[in-house]
Amino acid sequence: MKNRIYRAIMGLLGFTSACTPFAKLYGPPPTPEYGVPAPEYGTPYVELVVKGKVTDPDGKPVSGIQVTPFRRYGDKDYPDGKFLTDGSGNVEITKQEFTGGMGALNFAFEDVDGPENGGRFAKDTIYHKDLDIKKVDEGSDHWSDGKFEVIFEKKLRPAEDGE
């Protein structure tokens, strides 16, 4: 009796195949149109293409700046890789990101080579609200939410003594 009530409730919620003995042992039954369904496990994701430029206060490109994408949950930051600007002050990052329950994407900047490439610059950050984010392509399958381009330009200020 208990199993029948459980199956009836699950059936009303749309979980009928999960309640049948066949599904418990072998998965969903084959259909004439599609055959045996493949199991699907996954999480929606997006493809991110980040294009950024780092300059000094005069607009000259700065190479050797470490760019660290990070997300903030509560009061803790979670970095996701470290990338260096090239000789033209540019950085380009391409990656896949899971979309479920993620915090906003931010970028931290740090001069890791000191005065070697154009001076000593103070640490700085760009937050999600200051980024230019555009959807450039729809998803190619049902897990993909598409391709997004994230563009930023960051002017770093010179570091003061003690920074």
The DSSP letter of residue 143 is T
Q: Give the model's pLDDT for residue 35.
A: 66
Q: Give the model's pLDDT for residue 7.
A: 62
Residues 12-54 have pLDDT tens digits of 565 544 444 544 445 556 666 666 666 666 677 888 899 999 9
The reply to whether the predicted model has a pTM over 0.85 is: no
What average pLDDT does range 53-70 have in this prediction? 94
Query: Residue 147, SS3?
Result: strand
Q: Which residues, 6 or more positions from 47, have their beta carbon under 8 angstroms from its beta carbon?
A: 94, 95, 96, 97, 137, 144, 146, 147, 148
Q: Give the model's pLDDT for residue 92.
A: 95
Q: For residues 17 and 24, what is the distance between their CA atoms, to the nearest angstrom? A: 8
Give the residue with greater pLDDT, 1 vs 91.
91
Q: Which residues, 6 or more positions from 152, have their beta carbon under 8 angstroms from its beta carbon?
A: 50, 51, 52, 53, 107, 126, 130, 131, 132
162: pLDDT strictly greater than 70: no
All domains in the chain, ordered by first residue: 1-39 (no CATH), 45-155 (2.60.130.10)
Q: Which amino acid appears at position 81 of this protein?
A: G
Helix (H) / strand (E) element for 113: namely none
